[in-house]
Chains A and B, each alone.
Chain A
Amino acid sequence: MSDRRTVTEDPALRESLSGLEASARLPATLPPAQFPIETLVPEVRQQTPAVGQRATRPDARLHGLGQTKYIDDLALPGMLHARIKRAGIAAARIVRIDTRAAEAMPGVMAVVTGRDVPVNSFGPSLQDQPVLADERVYHAGDGVAAVAAATDAIAAEALERIVVEYAPLPAVLDPFEAMREDAPRVHPPASNVYAHKIIRKGDVERALAEADRVFEGRWTTQMVEHVPIEPHAAIAAWDANGRLTVYSTLGRITLGRADIARTLALPVNRVQVIGTIVGGNFGGKNEISQEPVLALLAKKAGRPVKGVFTRGEEFYASTTRHPFFMDYKTGVGRDGRIRARKVRLVLDGGAYCSWSETTLGKACILATGPYRIEHVQVEAFAVYTNKTVAGAMRGFGAPQVCFAYESQMDEIAAALGIDPLEIRLANAFDEGAASPTGQTLESVVVKASLEQAAARFGWREPRS
């Protein structure tokens, strides 16, 4: 790989860059504005109290006028543009990576691979994810090498010249297949079932046996993306004291800084993370992604480096929502009261643990719904597959289990001839109810929300 070069030291490079610099993408410039912009109407009450006001956001005017600076709008002097090469194969051993042709390209200032990462692993609960895949590829969106170049176009072209030789391994794509003993291991020698949780209250088997009616069903949900308007973006810049500043779309900078420092084997106080205004997160920007890669490229090139995920990378190289497989068995009295509910959840976690433990935990705790049920059992498994990583996403498993428990609620209501609103009111938590984990619940307004929504909708009015 190349030594550190600068434009002035290398005449050939300087020549080739002279045209490129001019064509390099300029940072977006804004139309001139007069400051401060006149406010015609006082928008906020001058008096206190402040709480409960429909206060205008101070950033609303900036957003409305296009004055908000997202990372793509920022440029540091001499800044380079990074691209990451993605594996494009779900499971393989990496035999060799040849970066020489990419390094020889004019305008390419640094190339890194997994071997350059001091501590090549991260993750919020299990550190099972490499910053750049080194020996093994776990899913098709894994990064295998990265380039920093004078322009984004050169960086993209350089990726094409990196040669990676793979020895394909059997990929496991179905979570139920992955749970079998003889299935290929995604992270050998670890089991493919990497998280398990159970909640038990009362005697669910006896209560099911004694119930008037028992309803059974399986519900499944799909993998979806957060699709923020602003993709994952970051800039890494070092100062002469060896201190790293990272501008990032990260949603949790305190823990992100710790993760970045860990992967780079730096003391935490040598890393500054600045969270910029983010164009949508929804859980997808809860952990570090390209930040350590940009830092390594910036160090190697001696220049600040910016990376912005492509829309494709947003899909295959960021996290997604866990697909759920949900088996519900519910014992009900003729009066519509739920006596017992037994739930089994299988989460397709994709290639890495990421935020699966939190998703698993929340899904388990919430799985029986906002209902008073004496006998419950919830058991859940998170399973590795060689697919895109499932992680944090708005709701952490709640939208999945709600789809199941509320669908089954309507099935029960229809079978017993009870109105869907009334069966919910008959079963819903009251103030002071005990949750499935035995917690005494306070400020419980589920019945009030049912009544309020029903009144607004006109649920009890005769149907036309």
Chain B
Amino acid sequence: MRRRGRGIACMWYPIGFTVSANPSAATVKVNEDGTATLLTGTVETGQGSLTVLGQIAAEALGIATEDVHVVSADTDATPMDTGAIASRTTYVTGNAVKLAGERARAILFEAAAPMLGVKPEQLEARDRKIQVRGFPQRSVAIGEAARHALVGKGEPPIGTASFNPPTVAMDPETGQGKPFATYVYATQIAEVEVDDETGEVEVLRIVAAHDCGTPINPMLVEGQVEGGIAMGIGFALQEEILFDDDGRQINPNLTNYIMPTSLDMPEIEVDIVPSHDPTGPFGAKGVGEPTSVPTAAAIANAIYDAVGVRLTALPMTAERVLAAIKAKRAAQPQQLR
């Protein structure tokens, strides 16, 4: 009989890593046509980080996302970056990009101020214009200001900045310290069906509420959550590298190492929890890794809710679930029917 259950799991996760310094640098160049080029040493690994960094640069300069061209990942041409790891790109590289954009913007303000007859401090960058705060009709196009800075003043609007999260080293005896600049939080709830005759677990639905600070691009946040849940389901139910007695892997192929496919995916509902971290770029934190953290626990709790057995070893394969169900039945006193 297929029995339905639900399970909840929440988690916290730090942004960045602890062992050593964790810096990123970035360079933002504003072109004469009002577009910008962002140089970053990070690598696009499919998650959309370059899009997010472009959006941060655009926001800092008051231009549109498609106005920013991102050049990445060439050690000869792009600035230092600790890399696409540890859910750090939006927070750490993003902060560097924001600061670099602001520095380029400051050069534009210096160039635009005499054009508008005001002080640089009175200016803001919005809607592809440099305008007087409170008097948006008094403005010059960003491209015009960039051309004036470049050709008129001979000061190209290029900003470079770096960011390293402030941390306090952990005490080796007690572990006390501030190992990370900030943390994100999340909850996932899984609904499963367990076949108590075969032990097979089907995940029907996962509701995920994730905090990432300000979502720079909500669509990409949702993509990360859905991908993370797919990975979490594999970790929970199917995937395992097995070894023979001599320490050699016995299933190093996709025939015998079972991964979830699109057919194994449940209905996923993603909620972004409203949050704002003042230390992040425009309030953003990060989202990459945490998305696969609570999935296995939520499924384990849902299995318990469905059939009353607690699996303490991953993956919770049909064999293990069935063995646990049989052990529970064997331990129960026999009832007269």
Q: Is the CB of A283 within 8 A of B85?
A: yes
Q: Is the CB of A50 within 8 A of B189?
A: no
B residues less than 8 Å from A206 (CB atoms) = none
Flag whether A279 is at the interface (Cβ < 8 A). Answer: yes
Q: How large is the interface on A (under 10, 10 to 19, 20 to 34, 35 or more residues)?
A: 35 or more
A residues less than 8 Å from B197 (CB atoms) = none
| Cβ-neighbour of B84 out of A140, A252, A456 (below 8 A) | A252
Q: Is the CB of B75 within 8 A of A257?
A: yes
Q: Is the CB of A448 within 8 A of B10?
A: no
B residues less than 8 Å from A373 (CB atoms) = none
Q: Which of B1-58 contact A (CB under 8 A)?
A: 6-14, 17-19, 41, 43-46, 48, 50-51, 54-56, 58
Least Cβ–Cβ distance between B35 and chain A, in angstroms = 13
How far is B79's CA from A224's CA once the two chains are assembled, in angstroms?
34
Q: Is the CB of B45 within 8 A of A315?
A: no
Least Cβ–Cβ distance between B75 and chain A, in angstroms = 5
Q: Is the CB of A253 within 8 A of B43?
A: yes
Q: Is the CB of A286 within 8 A of B83?
A: yes
B residues less than 8 Å from A320 (CB atoms) = 241
Q: Which of B195-231 contact A (CB under 8 A)?
A: 205, 207-211, 213-220, 228, 231
Q: Is the CB of A402 within 8 A of B11?
A: yes
Q: Is the CB of A252 within 8 A of B241?
A: no
Least Cβ–Cβ distance between B16 and chain A, in angstroms = 10
B residues less than 8 Å from A200 (CB atoms) = 173-176
Q: Is the CB of B297 within 8 A of A407?
A: yes
B residues less than 8 Å from A171 (CB atoms) = 246-247
User: Which among A5-13, A55-63, A75-83, A143-151 touches the partner chain?
Assistant: A55-63
Flag whether A396 is at the interface (Cβ < 8 A). Answer: yes
Q: Which residue of B lies closest to A283 (CB)?
A: B85
Q: Which residue of B lies closest to A275 (CB)?
A: B73
Q: How large is the interface on B (under 10, 10 to 19, 20 to 34, 35 or more residues)?
A: 35 or more
Q: Which residue of A lies closest to B55 (CB)?
A: A50
Flag whether B128 is at the interface (Cβ < 8 A). Answer: yes
User: Which among A29-37, A153-161, A437-445 touches the partner chain?
Assistant: A437-445
Least Cβ–Cβ distance between B325 and chain A, in angstroms = 17
Q: Most chain-A CB neighbours within 10 Å: which of B83, B247, B304?
A: B247
Q: Is the CB of B187 within 8 A of A452?
A: yes
A residues less than 8 Å from B295 (CB atoms) = 399
Q: Which residue of B lies closest to A139 (CB)?
A: B247
B residues less than 8 Å from A387 (CB atoms) = 243, 247
How far is B51's CA from A219's CA once the two chains are assembled, in angstroms?
39
| Cβ-neighbour of A52 out of B126, B214, B269, B300 (below 8 A) | B214
Q: Is the CB of A449 within 8 A of B10?
A: yes
B residues less than 8 Å from A358 (CB atoms) = 17-19, 86
Flag whether A191 is at the interface (Cβ < 8 A). Answer: no
Q: Which of A342-380 contact B (CB under 8 A)?
A: 357-358, 361-362, 364-366, 369-370, 378
With contacts A48-B59, A406-B297 taken as known, whether A220 is within 8 angstroms of B189 at the C-beta atoms is no
Q: Which of A396-428 contact B (CB under 8 A)?
A: 396, 398-399, 402-403, 405-407, 410-411, 414, 420-421, 424, 428
How far is B12's CA from A386's CA once the two chains are assembled, in angstroms?
32
Q: Which residue of A lies closest to B9 (CB)?
A: A406
Flag whether B177 is at the interface (Cβ < 8 A). Answer: yes
How far is B88's CA from A392's CA once the two chains are assembled, in angstroms?
14
Q: Is the CB of B271 within 8 A of A48?
A: no
Q: Is the CB of A370 within 8 A of B176?
A: no
How far is B43's CA from A286's CA once the two chains are assembled, in angstroms?
11
Least Cβ–Cβ distance between A78 and chain B, in angstroms = 22
Flag whether B74 is at the interface (Cβ < 8 A). Answer: yes
Least Cβ–Cβ distance between A188 and chain B, in angstroms = 17
Q: Is the CB of A386 within 8 A of B271?
A: no
A residues less than 8 Å from B54 (CB atoms) = 50, 55, 58
Flag whether A187 is at the interface (Cβ < 8 A). Answer: no
Flag whether B288 is at the interface (Cβ < 8 A). Answer: yes
Q: Is the CB of A312 within 8 A of B252?
A: yes
Q: Is the CB of A279 within 8 A of B46?
A: yes
Q: Is the CB of B301 within 8 A of A281?
A: no
Least Cβ–Cβ distance between B332 and chain A, in angstroms = 17
Flag whether A450 is at the interface (Cβ < 8 A). Answer: yes
* Binary interface encoding of chain A residues 120-136 relative to chain B, with 1 for a CB under 8 A from any of its CBs, else 0: 00001100000000000
Q: Which residue of B lies closest to A387 (CB)?
A: B247
How far is B232's CA from A403's CA once the two chains are assembled, in angstroms?
11
Q: Is the CB of A218 within 8 A of B175?
A: no
Flag whether A14 is at the interface (Cβ < 8 A). Answer: no
Flag whether B109 is at the interface (Cβ < 8 A). Answer: no
Flag whether B313 is at the interface (Cβ < 8 A). Answer: yes
| Cβ-neighbour of A201 out of B48, B127, B176 (below 8 A) | B176
Q: Is the CB of B11 within 8 A of A398?
A: yes
Q: Is the CB of A254 within 8 A of B75?
A: yes
How far is B217's CA from A194's CA once the two chains are assembled, in angstroms?
41
B residues less than 8 Å from A48 (CB atoms) = 58-59, 62-64, 126-128
How far is B87's CA from A79's CA once the two chains are assembled, in angstroms?
36
A residues less than 8 Å from B243 (CB atoms) = 173, 387
With contacts A220-B313, A438-B176, A457-B189 taken as known, whether A399 is within 8 angstroms of B235 at the C-beta atoms is yes
Q: Is the CB of A222 within 8 A of B271?
A: no
Flag whether B152 is at the interface (Cβ < 8 A). Answer: no
Q: Is the CB of A370 within 8 A of B175?
A: no
Flag whether A207 is at the interface (Cβ < 8 A). Answer: no
Least Cβ–Cβ distance between A89 and chain B, in angstroms = 7
Flag whether A381 is at the interface (Cβ < 8 A). Answer: no
Q: Which residue of A lies closest to B41 (CB)?
A: A254
Flag whether A117 is at the interface (Cβ < 8 A). Answer: no
Least Cβ–Cβ distance between B278 and chain A, in angstroms = 8
Q: Is the CB of B174 within 8 A of A446?
A: no
With contacts A90-B248, A286-B83, A399-B292 taken as known, whether A443 is within 8 angstroms of B285 at the C-beta atoms is yes
| Cβ-neighbour of B207 out of A45, A222, A283, A456 (below 8 A) | A456
Flag whether A119 is at the interface (Cβ < 8 A). Answer: no
Flag whether B82 is at the interface (Cβ < 8 A). Answer: yes
A residues less than 8 Å from B298 (CB atoms) = 406
Least Cβ–Cβ distance between B314 and chain A, in angstroms = 5
Q: List 25 A-B contacts (CB under 8 A).
A: A48-B58, A50-B58, A50-B65, A197-B175, A199-B176, A200-B175, A217-B312, A224-B234, A224-B235, A225-B257, A255-B82, A282-B231, A311-B252, A311-B254, A365-B18, A370-B10, A403-B297, A406-B297, A407-B310, A420-B8, A439-B168, A453-B208, A456-B271, A459-B6, A459-B8
**6 new A-B contacts at CB < 8 Å, known A224-B240, A395-B293:** A55-B219, A89-B248, A90-B246, A255-B82, A395-B289, A429-B12
Give 7 nearest A-B pairs by CB, closest first: A252-B83, A90-B247, A275-B73, A199-B175, A406-B297, A315-B252, A50-B58
Which residues of B are at the interface with A, using a C-beta cutoff of 8 A?
Answer: 6-14, 17-19, 41, 43-46, 48, 50-51, 54-56, 58-59, 62-66, 70, 72-76, 80-86, 126-128, 168, 170, 172-180, 182-183, 185-189, 191, 205, 207-211, 213-220, 228, 231-232, 234-235, 239-241, 243, 245-249, 251-254, 257, 259, 269, 271, 273-279, 282, 284-285, 288-290, 292-298, 300-301, 304, 310, 312-315
